Amino acid sequence: MLRWDSYRTVYGAELRAAAREYTDHGWPVVEAVPAGLLLATGGLLLATGTSLDVLEVPAAVGRLVCAQLRAAGMAVPVAATPTGRWWFPVTTGGTLPGALADRADVVLRTAGAVVLAPPSETPDGWVHWRVAPALSGYRPSPVGPIVAAVVAATAEVHEHDRLPVAAAART
């Protein structure tokens, strides 16, 4: 067997094992790829809206959220994509407050949305767990504390990225 063929066989087995693990814990795996969703190398999709929703943020915000949650003693699942996005599986039924609703970089994926789940491969790299869902017993995080942490983190990132007034005047 060629190296590439054996790689594909192992990768396929990893995807099947992850799909079984997710479904065993009540996470809805998409059986067929929705029309218009192109996955160059294949992958594993989770559907939102029934047993979980997904809150997706930039990696810089995700790191701050994880630090806040860790300080509060909360271990919650979080996935990272190779394109600099992190996502948190959360309980269904939440909404984004005004502080986040107008931000294009913070997205709450609800009923009808799908997310590419670990261990999916994309042309840019791998979707992987930063914090594995097994640490929380595969329970989606309560949406309230995660949203509150994202509000605080986006404010902190915004303040950090600001230029001092004198420096801004020179540019």
Q: What is the structure's pLDDT at 11?
A: 80
Quote the CA–CA distance of 131 and 142 in Å, as a whole number: 16
pTM of structure = 0.84
The structural domains of the chain, with segments of one domain joined by +, span 3-170
Q: Which two tokens stand for residue 42?
A: 């294949």
CA 149 and chain centroid, separation: 15
Q: Are 171 and 120 in contact (CB under 8 A)?
A: no
Which pLDDT does position 69 carry in this prediction? 95
What pLDDT score does 103 carry?
93
Let me know: does 92 contact 53? Beta carbons within 8 Å. Answer: yes
Residue 84, CA atoms < 13 Å, CB-side half-sphere: 4
